[in-house]
């Protein structure tokens, strides 16, 4: 094993100790894979399948008369996501490094395509590309991944090469340039929720990279100023302004702008400790909570599985974040550390925002709950992220 001047150990695979083929051998997989992380991600996806089925089995206008429509699709999305994770592991985060510029370019083109006639509006957000056959694509979900990978590629290049201990100011500015372009395009959709997640990802990446704290403080200040400017210039659509108004005043128009959050709190509050039983929630079966299979899927858990069931989801998400933190800490290069840190920031903030908006402690932002909410784009993106975490972990020495 060799090490760089930055202190990151670089694993050297010799023919005797660990070629790529041996890494994929049974012993290498068993010893290097984070099975706790994988088990928790699968458990969350399966719990999500039950919750999505409960929320949609009676929605004939959505299921076209087939009560298993969303259940089957959610399972399919999970299966495809796991396959994408496996492909990511097989490729490895270091090999993927060379393809990052291409992936970044594709993601920017896709978010730009949303602003053309190819884009479609769903729930006020012009953030989708309809593919036909009931399938659609939300490019901003994949943009979160490419922002992490592109910033990691730039910030870690000279550190992993041993030229520097920490990224210099010029390098940080270049990395921020990779993030600002897609964020600006997504803001034009407008998809404020995704932009919020991307902003948190950028902060997490910078903190993990060892960049000067002045950059972090400067970005927080600029973000606060930018939020005020966006509000003053009227960039936000009326439905987004209404969401913030309902958050600031929960009693505001409970039959209008405050309806979603009001019904969500009723559903969760009625579940008590043990819940009303799976498929027996009155708010869920009565279809009182809008978008319950996607943005408000946590309300199904709160009502039907109760506090204990909802807490189980939070615990599983917490374990995923804990394992990701261990992977970031034990990564053998700064590139891997940054990737893991970006994913941690993404999962942590998006889960907090999604659960928080159902409880009324965060504004409604239209973000899915990772692994649990229905949606192919979201499911594929989070499972690729799991694959990246596993790939980073599998590069560590066996003793780590």
Q: What are the tens digits of pLDDT across the range 377-386?
A: 999 999 999 9
User: Does residue 14 fall inside a structural domain?
Assistant: no
User: Does residue 398 fall inside a structural domain?
Assistant: no
CA distance 39 to 319: 10
DSSP for residue 130 = E
The number of folded domains in the chain is 1
**Pick from 223, 215, 203: which is nearest to 341 by CA?**
203
Residue-number span of the structural domain to which 150 is assigned: 28-393
The pLDDT value given to residue 14: 38
End-to-end CA distance of the chain: 13
User: Does residue 124 fall inside a structural domain?
Assistant: yes
The pLDDT value given to residue 38: 97
CA distance 61 to 77: 21
User: Does residue 17 fall inside a structural domain?
Assistant: no
The pLDDT value given to residue 128: 79
CA distance 205 to 198: 10
Letter string b/e over residues 204-230, b meaning 16 or more CB atoms within 10 A of that residue's CB: bbbebbbbeeebbeebeeeeeeeeeeb
The pLDDT value given to residue 35: 94
CB 301 within 8 A of CB 313: yes
Q: Which residues are registered as beta bridge partners of 231?
A: none
Q: What are the tens digits of pLDDT across the range 102-111?
A: 999 999 999 9
Q: What is the pLDDT averaged over residues 273-300?
A: 90
Name the range with the highest mean pLDDT among 17-26, 203-212, 237-246: 203-212
CA distance 10 to 21: 19
CB 147 within 8 A of CB 185: no
The pLDDT value given to residue 155: 95
- Cβ count near 26 (within 10 Å): 7
The pLDDT value given to residue 44: 98
pLDDT more than 70, % of the chain: 82
- Cβ count near 244 (within 10 Å): 16
CA distance 37 to 16: 29
Two structure tokens written together for 329: 């800490």
**Pick from 193, 149, 197: which is nearest to 175 by CA?**
149
User: Does residue 202 fall inside a structural domain?
Assistant: yes
For the chain, what is the mean pLDDT? 85
User: Does residue 13 fall inside a structural domain?
Assistant: no
pLDDT at 343 over 90: yes
Q: What are the tens digits of pLDDT across the range 68-104?
A: 999 999 999 999 999 999 999 999 888 888 899 999 9
User: Does residue 95 fall inside a structural domain?
Assistant: yes
Q: What is the pLDDT averaged over residues 126-150?
A: 86
User: Does residue 172 fall inside a structural domain?
Assistant: yes
Q: What is the pLDDT averaged over residues 124-149?
A: 84
* Reported confidence tier of residue 310, pLDDT bands at 50, 70, 90: very high
pLDDT at 368 over 90: yes
* Reported confidence tier of residue 18, pLDDT bands at 50, 70, 90: very low
SS3 65: coil
The pLDDT value given to residue 289: 86
Q: Which residues are registered as beta bridge partners of 66?
A: none
Q: How far is CA 115 from CA 35, 87, 127, 157, 386, in A?
A: 41, 31, 8, 33, 30
The pLDDT value given to residue 109: 95
Q: What are the tens digits of pLDDT across the range 236-265?
A: 666 666 666 666 666 665 555 667 788 888
CB 303 within 8 A of CB 276: yes
The pLDDT value given to residue 159: 86
């Amino acid at each position: 094993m060799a090490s760089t001047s930055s202190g990151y150990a670089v694993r050297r695979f010799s023919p005797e100790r660990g070629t790529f083929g041996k890494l994929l051998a049974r012993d290498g997989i068993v010893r290097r894979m984070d099975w706790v992380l994988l088990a928790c991600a699968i458990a969350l996806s399966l719990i999500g399948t039950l919750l999505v089925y409960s929320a949609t089995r009676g929605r004939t206008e959505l299921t076209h008369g087939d009560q298993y429509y969303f259940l089957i699709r959610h399972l399919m999305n999970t299966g495809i996501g796991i396959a994408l994770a496996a492909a990511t592991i097989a490729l490895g985060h270091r090999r993927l490094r060379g393809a990052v510029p291409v992936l970044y370019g594709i993601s920017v083109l896709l978010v730009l395509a949303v602003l053309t006639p190819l884009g479609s509006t769903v729930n006020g957000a012009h953030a989708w590309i309809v593919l036909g056959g009931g399938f659609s694509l939300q490019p901003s979900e994949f943009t979160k991944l490419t922002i992490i990978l592109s910033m990691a590629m730039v910030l870690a290049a000279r550190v992993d090469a041993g030229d520097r201990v920490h990224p210099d100011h010029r390098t940080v500015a270049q990395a921020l340039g990779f993030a600002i372009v897609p964020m600006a395009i997504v803001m034009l959709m407008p998809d404020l929720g995704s932009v919020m997640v991307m902003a948190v990802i950028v902060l997490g990446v910078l903190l993990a990279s060892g960049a000067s704290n002045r950059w972090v403080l400067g970005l927080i200040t600029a973000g606060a100023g930018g939020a005020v400017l966006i509000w003053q210039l009227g960039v936000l659509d009326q439905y987004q302004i209404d969401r913030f108004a309902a958050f600031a005043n929960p009693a505001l128009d409970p039959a209008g702008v405050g309806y979603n959050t009001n019904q969500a709190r009723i559903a969760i509050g009625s579940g008590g400790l043990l819940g009303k039983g799976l498929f027996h929630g009155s708010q869920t079966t009565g279809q009182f909570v809008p978008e319950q299979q996607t943005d408000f899927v946590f309300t199904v858990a709160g009502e039907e599985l109760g506090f204990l069931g909802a807490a189980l989801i939070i615990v599983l998400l917490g374990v995923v974040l804990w394992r990701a933190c261990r992977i970031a800490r034990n990564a053998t290069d700064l590139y891997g550390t940054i990737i893991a840190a970006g994913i941690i920031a993404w999962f942590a903030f998006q889960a907090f925002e999604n659960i928080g908006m159902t409880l009324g402690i965060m504004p409604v932002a239209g973000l899915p709950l990772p692994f649990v909410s229905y949606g192919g784009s979201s499911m594929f993106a989070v499972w690729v992220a799991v694959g990246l975490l596993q790939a980073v972990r599998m590069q560590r020495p066996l003793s780590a």
